[in-house]
Amino acid sequence: MDVSEAIQKRATIRRWKQKPVEKEKILRVLEAGRRAPSWGNVQPWRYVVVQERAKIEELAKSGAGQPHISTAPVVVVCCGVTEAFSRQKHRDSLKQLIQEGVMDWPDELLDNVVLGSDLFAPYRLGEQAMTIKASEQIMISVAYMTLEAVNQGLGTCWAGAISRNEAHEMLHLPENWFVHDFLLLGYPDENPKPRPRKPFDEIVFWESAAAAQPGR
Ligand SMILES: Cc1cc2nc3c(=O)[nH]c(=O)nc-3n(C[C@H](O)[C@H](O)[C@H](O)COP(=O)(O)O)c2cc1C
């Protein structure tokens, strides 16, 4: 399946066949997430794959009891590490890119310009900015996983309406991780038509946004 087809076919699935998902397929989905791009290549994502029924039902409670969480065959708990954006870790990631020949920045540029800039280096803006930046990267990775899932004949539902602290506690996650969302995964037991989207003329403007309607 090509990427365009996967994009067109993907729709949020909330009804699941009670059929186990092969480990090979779960790994293919996770690999898509692993290959996602990230700011400075810091890769702040961590994934906990949950398949035990009792654990999934427990996780569903932290998702306001959304029924499609408790019935999902697999719940990928998508987590992040804010520290990935600490000066040191961000530097380590950039340094690795430099060593790989991706950029040819001398240390002086790396340390004084890049890591000295509020635009490049989230650590300069504090913990909250670092967590937001980590969250953005996780969403890219999860989006990649949703597309590979389609390619594997699987469906996904992104669950962001969850109590992150409850899920964190339930899974005894490392102190320095935060839970971002769940990605529910399984064989679809429905074939939904594409959900509504805003028309092009409301969201796309060519060369200038002069034609944008105020307030839209
Ligand atoms: C970050 C994020 C969080 C979401 N959280 C939930 C959720 O908690 N529960 C749910 O049923 N759907 C959730 N969704 C799915 C959206 O409702 C869905 O993507 C949207 O209605 C468009 O439908 P489609 O994905 O089928 O195109 C979430 C989607 C995203 C991207």
Q: What is the CATH number of the domain that holds 58?
A: 3.40.109.10
Residue 212 lies in a domain: no
Residue 194 lies in a domain: no
Phi, psi (rounded to 5 degrees) for 37 = -75, 155
Residue 64 has a pLDDT of: 87
Residue 48 has a pLDDT of: 98
Tokens of 42: 């810091």
Q: Model confidence over 45-57: pLDDT tens digits?
A: 999 999 999 999 9
| Helices and strands of the chain, counted as H and E runs | 9, 4
Residue 199 lies in a domain: no
Residue 68 predicted with pLDDT over 80: yes
| Count of domains forming the chain | 1
Identify the domain containing residue 81 by its residue range. Answer: 3-189
Residue 168 lies in a domain: yes
For atom 18 of ligand 1, which residue has the closest CA?
12
Q: Which of 143, 152, 184, 157 has the alpha carbon at shortest distance from 35? A: 143
Q: Which of 79, 76, 62, 44 has the alpha carbon at shortest distance from 156? A: 76
Any atom of ligand 1 within 6 Å of the Cβ of 197: no
Residue 98 lies in a domain: yes
Residue 24 has a pLDDT of: 98
Residue 145 lies in a domain: yes
Enter the pTM of the model.
Answer: 0.96
Residue 203 lies in a domain: no
Rounded to an integer, the average pLDDT of 12-24 is: 97
Any atom of ligand 1 within 6 Å of the Cβ of 116: no
Residue 94 lies in a domain: yes
Q: Model confidence over 172-190: pLDDT tens digits?
A: 999 999 999 999 999 999 9
